[in-house]
Structure 1
Amino acid sequence: MADMEVALKDMMMLDGAIGAAVVDYGSGMPLGVLGGSKSFDLEIASAGNTEVIRAKMRTIEQLGLSEEIDDVLITLATQYHLIRPTRSRRAKGLFLYLALDRSRGNLAMARHRLKDIEAELEI
């Protein structure tokens, strides 16, 4: 089992990692952040991505689908943004958020690693 600090460090160890956060999608507040910069505010990104998750969850419910979100990928010109909701009872109501530099990051590896980190996370 990994705590939040370990999870954030693991996310930032991925090639091309720009910033990582563990976010409560009920409030939109990050519980922890690592990385980012003056021009890339992880708190603003966390709040914005909370709206993405909430909208998709509402849509799934309205459609009557018995599905869960594995992850959400937002592709920008120079970055990938990955959002992975947590499913375990130990970390319910959260999502992992990772921003990657497209020229240095490996999207497949990042998705695989986030899945592992989410499974190990205990808050």
Structure 2
Amino acid sequence: MSNLDLALKSMMAVDGAVGAAVVDYSSGMALGILGGSKTLDLQVAAAGNTEVVRAKLRTMEQLGIKEDIEDILITLSAQYHIIRPVTGRKGKGLFLYLALDRSRANLALARHHLKGIEEEIEV
């Protein structure tokens, strides 16, 4: 099993996970997806969240902020969406995307879990 497959399975093991993706934000393409539903098309989510990451990186550059993004959190009434850019040299240019059912998820634990995956992923 590839490192990418292991990362996706580990992301889906988070309590409340409904969909996970590893995305290349230079192209907007999902390198791997797991989960999803009729209302959560992970290919569309990957492309759309690529624009979120790019916009934030541009804004940080314009503001002269020299820090790394830990994660971007989008809260909806029924879901959490977490975007975590990969900072390791073997995953640079990628981000992890995890959609959670808000009623079943522990946001702090999910963020902690994603941090561990981000540190280990190699693509």
TM-score (norm 1): 0.97
Deviations 1:28-58 (A, max 9, x none): 0000000001221000001000000000000
The gaps in structure 1 that reach 5 residues or longer are: none
After TM superposition, give the deviation of residue 65 of structure 1 in Å: 1.1
Match of 1:32 in 2: 32
The gaps in structure 2 that reach 5 residues or longer are: none
Match of 1:45 in 2: 45
Match of 1:5 in 2: 5
Q: What pairs with 1:1-123 in structure 2 (closer than 5 Å)?
A: 3-123=3-123
TM-score (norm 2): 0.97
What is the RMSD computed on CA atoms of the aligned residues?
A: 0.8
Letter in 2 for 1:46: A
Structure 2 Cα separation of the partners of residues 89 and 3 of structure 1: 15
Name the SS for the 2:90 alignment partner.
Answer: helix
Runs of 4+ in structure 1 off by over 3 angstroms are none
Report the number of matched residues: 122
Name the SS for the 1:15 alignment partner.
Answer: coil
Structure 1 Cα separation of the partners of residues 63 and 109 of structure 2: 31
Structure 1 Cα separation of the partners of residues 67 and 13 of structure 2: 30
